[in-house]
Amino acid sequence: MDKQASLIDRLTHRTALIGVIGLGYVGLPLAVEFGKAGFHVLGFDTDAEKTERLQQGESYISDVPDQRVADLVKAGRFKATTNFDRLSEPDVLCICVPTPITVTRDPDLSYIANTAKEIARRLRPGQLVVLESTTYPGTTREEVLPRLAQTGLEVGKDFFCGYSPERINPGSADSTFAKVPRIVSGVTSGCLEATKALYDSIVAETVPVSSPEVAEMAKLLENIFRAVNISLVNELKVIALRMGIDIREVIEAAATKPYGFMAFYPGPGLGGHCIPIDPFYLSWRARAFNVNARFVELAGEINTEMPEFVVRRVMEALNSQGKALKGSRVLVLGASYKANVGDTRESPAVTIMELLLAAGADVRYNDPYVPKLPRMRRSALSLSSVPLSQNEVGRADCVVIVTDHSDYDYQWIVEQAKLIVDTRNATRGIQCEEGKLWLA
């Protein structure tokens, strides 16, 4: 049996050892999914605290229950390590490391490059390496493959290399792993077959495409589609507010059209590791081909302005009660970038708090999912969540709803607060005295 057939055989019979590199929001659920499907899984991370917690059967990702990790560890089917010498052991290596942008919005591929170098040092015949990190078209072929090929091993014959983008939707019970179709690609047809066989073992449907570049760009299209549409409704929201029209009512009316319309909702700006960042991977790459990704840039501009818009609304709201933002006590509700998760990466709530602080406001926040703000790429705000008490809500000159967690009792919040700026329309349908509730 040649190496490809033998690998596919081991994947089909669940005897292959699966390696996952980068055990974060993408890598950990993936590792657990392979474990659930009956594989033995070896997870790699540079963060020793994470690997130790996993070894103790503890999860740090809210979508992955502790018990799931504990059961796999106990059954000997999942181990986590910082020892990269063990990269030679797995039959498959899935790369799930971060792909951030620099301060000048250029792609930072250092994590992928370092991981490819680490793998190359230990690459052995028969291994399949799949990149899952979101990135610009060309990364697998130009950044990962050459490093692996430097070993002298031949791709498609001695080892296999593919790209398969992750489509996880943190905090959503609807898009459970197995139900979401997977785009799969390979550098050669043999690589594609091996990559397809890998994901066929954990998802109901795989979608093979002709090259890694197509798969890489498809992932960017998905995220750019969201970024552009969100920026569009954010711009329309600003216009509608000036016109005294409720944009949410407009969207819901438009959404009754059974074809050709998809509803997106406005908010305080973009957050998370994907939508605010990934589009810039394409615009950067496009520049190398002498084309401008104008939609991407414009969407980025509009969405980046949203936190400032929210702060201006807070000023207007306070002003209507004869107060200046400077010196006012402002309680921000929600620090994470979206409802019901604890992820604060690129969260507009953090930018809003920074802007409020810079304007001299006395700022505090509450978030049941974020007890303390972690250190972030662009921010080192040192704040901890205050209790959502009658005292905190009642004493605030303004309460700003930034993240619409379902845990919040909005009726109670409206009753206790003196003034509310709601960026999510979370208070929809709640009656209160005129001038107390402001949409942003």
Ligand X SMILES: NC(=O)c1ccc[n+]([C@@H]2O[C@H](COP(=O)([O-])OP(=O)(O)OC[C@H]3O[C@@H](n4cnc5c(N)ncnc54)[C@H](O)[C@@H]3O)[C@@H](O)[C@H]2O)c1
129 binds ligand X (CB under 6 A): no
Instruction: Identify the active-site residue in 96, 191, 274, 398.
Output: 274
Q: Which of these ranges, 38-46, 308-316, 382-390, 399-407, lies near ligand X under the rule CB under 6 A? A: 38-46
Nearer to ligand X, 8 or 209 (CB): 209
Does the annotation mark 398 as catalytic?
Answer: no
What is the Cβ-side half-sphere exposure of residue 240, based on CA atoms within 13 angstroms? 16
For 4, the token pair is 């490809």
Helix 66-74 with 48-55: angle, nearest 10 deg: 70
211 binds ligand X (CB under 6 A): no
44 binds ligand X (CB under 6 A): yes
Contact positions with ligand X (CB under 6 A) in 6-25: 21-25
Question: Among 378, 371, 329, which Cα is nearest to 350's?
Answer: 378
Q: Which alpha helices (H) appear in 75-211, and where do they start and end?
A: 110-122, 139, 145-149, 189-200
Helix (H, G, I), strand (E, B) or coil at 21: strand
Helix (H, G, I), strand (E, B) or coil at 364: strand
Chain centre distance of CA 123: 30
147 binds ligand X (CB under 6 A): no
46 binds ligand X (CB under 6 A): yes
- What are the backbone dihedrals phi and psi of residue 78, each rounded to the nearest 5 degrees, phi first? -140, 130
Contact positions with ligand X (CB under 6 A) in 150-209: 166, 168, 170
Among 4, 51, 59, 134, contact with ligand X (rule: CB under 6 A)? 134
27 binds ligand X (CB under 6 A): yes
55 binds ligand X (CB under 6 A): no
Minimum CB distance to ligand X, residue 354 (Å): 21
120 binds ligand X (CB under 6 A): no
Nearer to ligand X, 119 or 315 (CB): 119
Helix 189-200 with 3-12: angle, nearest 10 deg: 10
Beta bridge partners of 398: 330
Residue type, position 320, single letter: S
Minimum CB distance to ligand X, residue 379 (Å): 16
- Point out the residues that are catalytic: 274
Residue ranges binding ligand X (CB under 6 A): 21-27, 44-47, 50, 96-99, 111, 114-115, 133-134, 166, 168, 170, 273-274
